[in-house]
Amino acid sequence: MFSTVREQIETVFQRDPAARSALEVFLCYPGFHAILFHRTAHGLYKRGWFTLARFISQISRAMTGIEIHPGATIGRRCFIDHGMGVVIGETSEIGDDVLMYQGVTLGGTGKDTGKRHPTVGNGVVIGTGAKILGNIRIGDFVKVGAGSVVVRPVPDHSTVVGVPGRVVGQADSALDPLEHGKLPDPEGQAIDELSRRVAELETMIRALADENISSQR
């Protein structure tokens, strides 16, 4: 248990430049608290103590604003930054070294039974407010942009943005936070391309009109 706590504190220091001391992390970081609560609840859940596990998860939810079903599987060194509003469903599977920001949802798409929540690979970064829905796999070292809604599988080393989420490039394997200001904007690029094409067509139409007027003279 103590090695788990120590590793989780070290993870916070690696991911959050605002962390100043181990005591501050231990007392003031809801993502840290939520992960430790979940380790306990998940252990009870695997042993068949379902109601007690759910009760502990609800205590964690009330204290941290982070709702993690005790059936979810979370790997090592997962860091939930700020964390308010994060929801992780029962059959979610999360790999090692995953970074999540506030408002993230790993949810289902209906009343399906069995595996109905996402599988998230190692080294994934999930931006603020992103929603990953259904029994899909998010590959290793994927970066999901803020506000994206992902409903289809995403291959390894990809960057995905938008609603619905679209793969727009490759992500390197560095475990760095998302640089939201540098993420591609496929919708904006499409609008810019359409605007450019419309301008070209207007120029062509004016040229044809001028040519027609000249020929009539």
User: In the chain, where are the structural domains located?
Assistant: 2-184, 185-217
Instruction: Flag whether pLDDT at 49 surpasses 80.
Output: yes
CB distance 145 to 137 below 8 Å:
no
Window from 128-132, 138-142, 185-189 with minimum mean pLDDT: 185-189
Nearest of 96, 136, 97 to residue 118 by alpha carbon: 136
What is the SS3 assignment for 121-150? CCCCEECCCCEEECCCEECCCCEECCCCEE
Task: Enumerate the H helices of 84-127 as residue ranges.
Answer: none
Over residues 23-50, mean pLDDT: 93
CB distance 8 to 32 below 8 Å:
yes
pLDDT at 213: 74
Band of residue 188 on the pLDDT scale cut at 50, 70, 90 = low
- Beta strands 131-133 and 143-144: pairing type? unpaired
Band of residue 130 on the pLDDT scale cut at 50, 70, 90 = very high
CATH code linked to domain 2-184:
2.160.10.10
pLDDT at 166: 86
